[in-house]
Amino acid sequence: MPGNLLIVTAPSGAGKTSLVQALLRADSRVELSVSYTTRAPRPGEVAGRDYHFVTKAAFEQMASAGEFLESAEVYGNHYGTSQQWIQQRIESGRDILLEIDWQGAAQVRRLFPEAIGIFILPPSLSALRTRLTGRGQDSEEVIERRLKAAREDMSHASEFDYVIINNDFEEAVRDLAAVVRASRLTYRRQAAGDPALFAQLT
C-alpha cells in the first residue's frame, strides 16, 4: 500500500523543525524528505541528514533536468525536493514528510493533490519575535525582515488541511502525531490495505 505524503509548513520561528524532529522520534513510519539547498550549513547541521548542501550551479543543473518536485528561493537561497526519491519512497509504503514553505507546498499539491497539508502557527506575533530574537543568530534588521515574511507566510494558512498552534510544545507534538495517525485511517487507505476484508464487510 502506498504511503502518505505529508507537508508541514510554518513561518520562520514557529517551531516547525523541533515539532517535526519530535514526530520522527515518536513515529518510525514517518520519514523526512531531505531537501537540496544552496545555503551554507548552520551550526550542528549535517550534510545528508538535515539538507543536501550543493552549489548554486549544481542546483540549477538539477532544476533544468526536471529533478525537483518543488523548488523555491527563500532569503536568497534555493531549496528543492527530489521528485524521484519521493515517488519511490511513497510507492514502497513509507509516509514521507516534506518540511517546506507555502510556495513549495502549492507546487507539490498540484502534482500530488492527495498530499496532506499541515500549517504550524505561533501563539502570537510577539511570541514569534521573542523566538526569533532568542536564536541570537540574526541582526534586528534581519529579524524585522523575517517577521514581515512571516506575516505573508501566515496569510496562506487557510490553504492547508490542518492548522496547529504551537503554544504548548508537547501538546503541539501530540496534535501533529494525531494528524499523521488519522491520515492512515481514511477509507481509501484502509480499503487498500486489506481489500479482501473490505470486500467481505462492505
pTM above 0.85, yes or no: no
Closest to 163 (Cα-Cα) out of 131, 129, 116, 126: 116
Residues 56-100: tens digit of each pLDDT? 999 999 999 999 988 888 888 999 999 988 989 998 989 999 998
Whether the Cβ atoms of residue 128 and residue 13 lie closer than 8 Å to each other: yes
**How many whole angstroms from its chain centre is CA 5?**
10
Residues 10-54: tens digit of each pLDDT? 998 899 999 999 999 999 999 999 889 999 999 999 998 889 999
Where are the alpha helices (H) located in the chain, listed in sequence order?
A: 16-26, 56-64, 83-91, 102-111, 125-134, 140-154, 169-183, 187-193, 195-201
Q: Give the cell for residue 194.
A: 486489506
Domains of the chain: 5-201 (3.40.50.300)
Q: Please give the C-alpha separations between residue 135 and each of 12, 76, 131, 138, 164, in angstroms, as whole numbers.
A: 11, 20, 7, 8, 22
